[in-house]
Chain A
Amino acid sequence: MIKPLHKLITKTTFGQLSLALLIICVVSGIFLVVPYNVNDAYGSISFLMLTNPAASLFRNIHFWSAQFFLLFTVIHLYDHFTRKKAIKLNMALWFRLTIGVLIIFLAMITGFILKGDADAGQAQRIFSGLVTRIPLIGEMIRQTFLGDGESLQFIYVHHIATFTIFIIIVVMEHAPTIWPRLRDFVITMTSILILSVLLMAPLHDGLSMVVKGPWYFVGFQEILHLITHPGYSLIIVLLLLFLLIMVPLSRNNGWLPKRLLLFFTLVYLFLTVIGYFFRGANWQWQWPWKSNEISAVYNPVETADWQVLGLFSKTSDTLPEVILGRNESCLICHQGMTGFSKSHNPQAVGCYSCHGGNPFSRDKEASHHGMRLIPGNLADAGQSCGTTQCHQQITSRINNGLMANLSGMISVDRFVFDEIASPDELTSVDELHHSPADEHLKNMCVTCHLGNPKRETGPITNESRGGGCLACHLNYNEADSSLSHLAIDRKNHPDYLKNHPSIDLKVGNNHCFGCHNRSGRISTNYEGWHETLLNPDELPTKHSYRIIDQTRVFTYIQDDVHHKLKMDCIDCHNSYELMGDDTRYAHQEQQVDIACADCHRNKADRTVTYAQLDQESALIAGLRYANIANRVFLTTEKRNKALINTEVRNDTMWMHGKNRDTVYVLRPPNAVCTYGKAHHEVSCNACHSAWAPSCIGCHNAYDENEPGYDMVKNLEKQGSWVEFVGEYNAGLPVLGIRKTASGQEIIPVVPGMVLTIDLASYTKDQHDSLLFKRLFAPAAPHTTAAKGRSCVSCHNNSEALGYGKGILTYVIDEDKGFWKFNSHYKNNSHDGLPEDAWVGFLDDRKGQVVSTRTDVFPFSVDQQKSILTLGACLTCHDEKSAVMVQSVVNFDSLVKTISLKCILPVW
């Protein structure tokens, strides 16, 4: 089974080849001293790679000859061990040769450290840490051979002198020559030269979070990870050396130590494979097919880089720029670019940290290899936006946020399709399979998630969906002339490469609009537009309509008061709501932090100073506003996060626009909102939402002939779920109850899922019946009005109570009063309730699933009776009369003083 490897080559041996490689390595090393500067290792190496092709060639020769020298020496050792006859060797020489093997590894690792890049720095620290752990003399050895860790000088001297001389001496002693055979030398030199022209010796960027070290020590890294006391790994090294020494001393031609060494080599190879492919950032386990970065150990096998052949051509006069200590070649060609923001421009972060590629080459193909044209998509955000030096905390938490994983959307849909028991399950858009609900989501809904990649350059528009960090932070200069052409022509425009978009904090409503004008229609509601079922071709005049996506027709009703005041979405919603706070929430109202009372409050309690701000808020505040060192900010009640655009000054609370230079005074709520007992559970939204969209008559069926789309894979497919809808309406929203930890609150709701689903059309199973659901959902309509709704609009309104449209009358018969209701819509055949109702008149839906949440319910029968009791008063008394005002303060005591003319309802 164990065959010698020397049979792979003829007329020479691996030992002879190693000798040739050693000479090549030493001589190329001598020449490399010229461009290398030990005081600026990383800078001098990246500089020589970009400006000195001849030096680059020497460096490649030095690197490749060294790697193969190590490999061939190990094979040479193996070959000698497989010989049947014992080698007669002077024991003292054998001892020196054994130490020589160790010295070769030391020469290799010091060469690695002399690169001065981020990996080298960590390797230096690990090496130092290991040496220190040698008992008794470890610290002394470290200080003698490695220095204090600040400079590479010690390591430089020992790499080029001490270790090299020792290796040469032991080679001369046993080879027993230092001069390789001419033919061996010529063949080796030629091979190394070809390799050096094609493949660049690597230089690590320091941006990737994966640190692995050189290929021959990846297995050792794995061992270090597994042992808590690194001193034990030194024992392993000692053991190996001991086994080596024992080979000529053991009986049977050293059978036992040789087998043990072979066994260790195989285990080491196995650990190397694990360390190479199965370990990601922070040496965490990862499955290789799930990672994009298996080449975290150097992968010099990228495209052939012909730049070393540039030594035959004139080098251009442009020198590379030095960014973050690193020379980058990008701007040598891409000169004169404009449009960058202050913090994300080449002078501050370079080009490479976002776009990747190869910044150490001047060759066009090689530079662009592995480049990300559009960085910022979530799939590769970890390597661009989220590297160690940049926004690592954000990219690691954004996937737990709902805009990325769509957990609530998916769980509610599966809940409605009766596939899961609770809509509160935490899931992710990456976990969709082939159930009817999952197919429905893939056809209709899930394109709106941050993980959806942006593949075309160009601004974020109405049609944009997803795009990772770019979904919010990408802005093109309005004066960008290359945008004036169609997307297809943009790349041919002469200014295409001159205009670079900006990554900044100007997150305007246009960024939110693409996704949020669908589903709950928050973006369009906010601007006052209500979607109709009209056909654009049928419109009498386009004048008072708005057409979105060419086919959707909107009419104007009334915009949100905050929109009137020119506030943007982000003036309310802070970075922790949008990018997540690393907690997984089941539904959007749980992830939202802001509440009306955070700005509209009676006194400036719950504040923080600038010095108390968390890092992220402080950075954003500092970027947006000047002179904030002494500012006092308001915080949210729910999660105590600073509202960085607020200010408390001179006992007044202010709000600054984030995207505009507007300043607002934050007014407290009207006294009528908060006095008295009656309305203390009514949420601001319940009264102040001017209108909300609603729909009826929704039916879903799967049509296998309908051209469809798989929104996860972004591919067209045959067959799709199709939704049919009856009517879209807009009006004052229905009200309901949300049960909270401390009690309950009255909130607006909209028809969430009032529909039928033809399951059998998808499953083709005759036993699957038609599903009917009547569920309402909590809503934040984003149609805030300054004036609240009238009393009768809740207390005497069948829609507000959830009965649906219709005629609600109070009939007095002698001295008894009765409420009667006639619904406008016919009763639905499935459950006998009117089409648009949530609950039956003076009825409840006990035992039924009534909403898309486990904590939202229609008014109970008792609650309906309370509301309608007051409604009865309102049939006689004016809303603004003294009696009605008193009823808000204390109804129970008031009702005891009613006159004989008052006829309260009986039930």
Chain B
Amino acid sequence: MKQKYNRRLFIKFIAAFMGLLFLGLWQRMVDSKSKNEIKKPVVVPLAVLTGVNFFDDFIVIKKDDQFEVLSSKCTHLGCRIDQQSQDKLMCPCHGSSYKLNGQVVTGPAIKPLPQLAYQINTDQQTLTVEL
């Protein structure tokens, strides 16, 4: 009788261990894939217009000769911001809006839009944004 309990307990222990192993493998696989897949930077022409320019994953705001690149992903749940009204960036999903420097004006978002790093290449007249 005692042996039966020991075997069952042992198998359950092995199953739990394999479960943890599997979780670890899963984590490893996902981490490895995302590490090896670097998001390519996006290149846009430098001649964007003064004001707000919407691209897929980012927004380029040009004032005089200064650039500012903000992520276009709303910090609430990630909807793409593609509208502007009265110097505010508006998210179409749940009503969040931001100032042109990324600060939140109305929620439900609370974090400001992150600024993205960019490089200007004057020879080729391009702006490269790191995502």
Chain A residues in the interface with B (C-beta under 8 A): 121-122, 125-126, 128-130, 140, 143-144, 148, 209-211, 221, 224-230, 281-284, 388, 392-393, 396-397, 582, 611-615, 618-619
Report how far A692 CA is from B28 CA in the complex, Å.
84
Interface string of B36-69 (1 = CB under 8 A from A): 0100000000010111110000000000110000
- On whether the beta carbons of B49 and A129 are closer than 8 Å, the reply is no
Given contacts A229-B110, A392-B84, 10 further A-B contacts (CB under 8 A): A121-B80, A140-B26, A209-B92, A226-B108, A282-B90, A282-B92, A393-B85, A613-B49, A615-B51, A618-B50
Residues of A within 8 A of B95 (CB): 225, 282-284
Report how far A211 CA is from B95 CA in the complex, Å.
10
B14 interfacial contact with A, CB 8 Å: no
Closest CB of chain B to A711's CB: distance in Å? 30
Report how far A347 CA is from B102 CA in the complex, Å.
36
Residues of A within 8 A of B109 (CB): 228
Report how far A228 CA is from B27 CA in the complex, Å.
29
Residues of B within 8 A of A582 (CB): 86
Report how far A615 CA is from B49 CA in the complex, Å.
5
Report how far A130 CA is from B50 CA in the complex, Å.
35
Report how far A397 CA is from B93 CA in the complex, Å.
22
Report how far A283 CA is from B84 CA in the complex, Å.
14
Interface-central residue, A229, A283, A396, by most chain B CB under 10 Å: A283
24 residue pairs A–B, Cβ–Cβ below 8 Å: A121-B80, A122-B79, A122-B93, A125-B73, A125-B79, A125-B80, A144-B30, A211-B92, A211-B93, A224-B77, A224-B93, A225-B108, A227-B108, A229-B110, A282-B83, A282-B91, A388-B83, A396-B85, A611-B47, A611-B50, A611-B65, A614-B51, A615-B49, A618-B50
B12 interfacial contact with A, CB 8 Å: no
Given contacts A125-B78, A130-B77, A615-B51, contact A148 B37 (CB under 8 A): yes
Given contacts A393-B85, A618-B49, A619-B49, contact A211 B77 (CB under 8 A): no
Closest CB of chain B to A78's CB: distance in Å? 29
Residues of A within 8 A of B77 (CB): 125-126, 129-130, 224, 230
Interface-central residue, A130, A614, A619, by most chain B CB under 10 Å: A614
Contact partner, B50, options A129, A210, A229, A612, Cβ 8 Å: A612
Residues of B within 8 A of A128 (CB): 78
B107 interfacial contact with A, CB 8 Å: yes
Closest CB of chain A to B63's CB: distance in Å? 10
- On whether the beta carbons of B94 and A221 are closer than 8 Å, the reply is yes
Report how far A700 CA is from B81 CA in the complex, Å.
54
Tell me the nearest residue of chain A to B49, going by C-beta: A615
Nearest 4 CB-CB pairings of A with B: A129-B77, A129-B78, A283-B95, A615-B51
Residues of B within 8 A of A209 (CB): 83, 92
B99 interfacial contact with A, CB 8 Å: no
B8 interfacial contact with A, CB 8 Å: no
- On whether the beta carbons of B94 and A224 are closer than 8 Å, the reply is yes
Tell me the nearest residue of chain B to A142, going by C-beta: B30
Chain B residues in the interface with A (C-beta under 8 A): 26-27, 30, 33-34, 37, 47, 49-53, 64-65, 73, 76-80, 82-86, 90-95, 97, 107-110
Report how far A284 CA is from B52 CA in the complex, Å.
22
- On whether the beta carbons of B108 and A143 are closer than 8 Å, the reply is no
Residues of A within 8 A of B33 (CB): 143
Given contacts A225-B95, A282-B83, A388-B83, contact A126 B50 (CB under 8 A): no
Report how far A148 CA is from B92 CA in the complex, Å.
22
Report how far A211 CA is from B82 CA in the complex, Å.
12
Tell me the nearest residue of chain A to B97, going by C-beta: A282
Residues of B within 8 A of A281 (CB): 92
- On whether the beta carbons of A144 and B94 are closer than 8 Å, the reply is no
Closest CB of chain A to B46's CB: distance in Å? 10
Report how far A445 CA is from B23 CA in the complex, Å.
76
Contact partner, B82, options A388, A612, A614, Cβ 8 Å: A388
Closest CB of chain B to A296's CB: distance in Å? 11
Contact partner, A122, options B27, B90, B92, B107, Cβ 8 Å: B92
Closest CB of chain A to B90's CB: distance in Å? 5
- On whether the beta carbons of A228 and B49 are closer than 8 Å, the reply is no
Residues of A within 8 A of B76 (CB): 129, 224, 228, 230
- On whether the beta carbons of B108 and A140 are closer than 8 Å, the reply is no
Tell me the nearest residue of chain B to A283, going by C-beta: B95
Tell me the nearest residue of chain B to A130, going by C-beta: B77
Closest CB of chain B to A248's CB: distance in Å? 25
Report how far A221 CA is from B76 CA in the complex, Å.
12
Contact partner, A614, options B37, B50, B80, B92, Cβ 8 Å: B50
Report how far A211 CA is from B83 CA in the complex, Å.
12
Tell me the nearest residue of chain B to A618, going by C-beta: B49
- On whether the beta carbons of B34 and A143 are closer than 8 Å, the reply is yes
Residues of B within 8 A of A121 (CB): 80
Tell me the nearest residue of chain A to B39, going by C-beta: A148
Report how far A126 CA is from B80 CA in the complex, Å.
9
Report how far A388 CA is from B90 CA in the complex, Å.
11
Residues of A within 8 A of B65 (CB): 611
Closest CB of chain B to A802's CB: distance in Å? 42
Tell me the nearest residue of chain A to B27, going by C-beta: A140
Tell me the nearest residue of chain A to B64, going by C-beta: A612
Tell me the nearest residue of chain A to B65, going by C-beta: A611
Report how far A618 CA is from B48 CA in the complex, Å.
10
Closest CB of chain B to A353's CB: distance in Å? 15
Report how far A388 CA is from B93 CA in the complex, Å.
13
- On whether the beta carbons of A122 and B94 are closer than 8 Å, the reply is no
Given contacts A129-B76, A129-B77, contact A228 B92 (CB under 8 A): no
Interface-central residue, B50, B82, B93, by most chain A CB under 10 Å: B93
Closest CB of chain A to B123's CB: distance in Å? 17
Closest CB of chain A to B95's CB: distance in Å? 4
Closest CB of chain B to A100's CB: distance in Å? 22
Interface-central residue, A230, A282, A284, A388, by most chain B CB under 10 Å: A282
Report how far A364 CA is from B30 CA in the complex, Å.
51
- On whether the beta carbons of A228 and B108 are closer than 8 Å, the reply is yes
Report how far A393 CA is from B51 CA in the complex, Å.
12
Tell me the nearest residue of chain B to A397, going by C-beta: B86
Closest CB of chain A to B71's CB: distance in Å? 12
Residues of A within 8 A of B90 (CB): 282
Report how far A543 CA is from B47 CA in the complex, Å.
56
Report how far A224 CA is from B107 CA in the complex, Å.
11
Report how far A18 CA is from B60 CA in the complex, Å.
50
Residues of B within 8 A of A126 (CB): 77-79, 93
Report how far A552 CA is from B76 CA in the complex, Å.
62
- On whether the beta carbons of A122 and B30 are closer than 8 Å, the reply is no
Contact partner, A210, options B53, B92, B110, Cβ 8 Å: B92
